[in-house]
């Protein structure tokens, strides 16, 4: 869903479009800085959040298109109608599992709906293999993105309006 938001910044009115996104994974939202991976925690790929998962499914945060699926099945990239892309990455360094413990439920290029399951992952297997299972959700860097906002709390998979991607539109 897109919303128009008016903000006052440095003495001028600024219009921005806000993309309200659903929780891709059930669990506890935490700041991205708590993820033990510098690429994510330092925001090199973009702003976002992490979820300490309660279950082994990841769903689409909004209607869009699957633009990429990692060969190792641990990550999927979703493109919103605005052109913004969101990465859903399961676990820290889980690329090393070479796809073991992951099942992809969609195909690259597929149109998907908010809440549609994308990935299934074996949470006990990931933990037993010694990997952090955080679900990392990143709005890939784009000059249109102003901010990614959320309230840190427990969420259900596909719960609507869990995080917001604010897009710049100066006028």
Residue of 92, 102, 104 whose CA lies nearest to 134: 92
Helix (H, G, I), strand (E, B) or coil at 96: helix
Cβ atoms 104, 88 nearer than 8 A: no
Element (H, E) at 118: strand 117-121
Rounded CA separation 108/12 (Å):
42
Q: Which positions are annotated as active-site residues?
A: 89
């Amino acid at each position: 869903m897109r919303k128009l938001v008016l903000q006052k910044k440095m003495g001028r009115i600024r219009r921005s479009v806000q993309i309200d996104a659903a929780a891709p994974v059930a669990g506890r939202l935490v700041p991205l800085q708590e993820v033990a991976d510098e690429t994510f925690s330092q925001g090199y790929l973009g702003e976002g959040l992490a979820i300490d998962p309660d279950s082994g499914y990841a769903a689409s945060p909004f209607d869009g298109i699957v633009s990429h699926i990692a060969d190792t099945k641990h990550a999927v990239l979703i493109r919103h109608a605005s052109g913004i892309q969101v990465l859903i990455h399961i676990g820290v360094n889980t690329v090393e599992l070479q796809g073991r413990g992951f099942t992809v439920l969609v195909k690259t290029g597929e149109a998907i709906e908010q809440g549609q399951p994308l990935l299934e992952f074996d949470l006990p297997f990931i933990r037993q293999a010694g990997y952090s299972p955080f679900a990392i959700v990143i709005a890939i860097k784009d000059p249109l993105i102003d901010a990614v906002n959320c309230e840190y709390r427990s969420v259900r998979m596909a719960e609507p309006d869990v995080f917001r991607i604010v897009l710049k539109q100066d006028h």
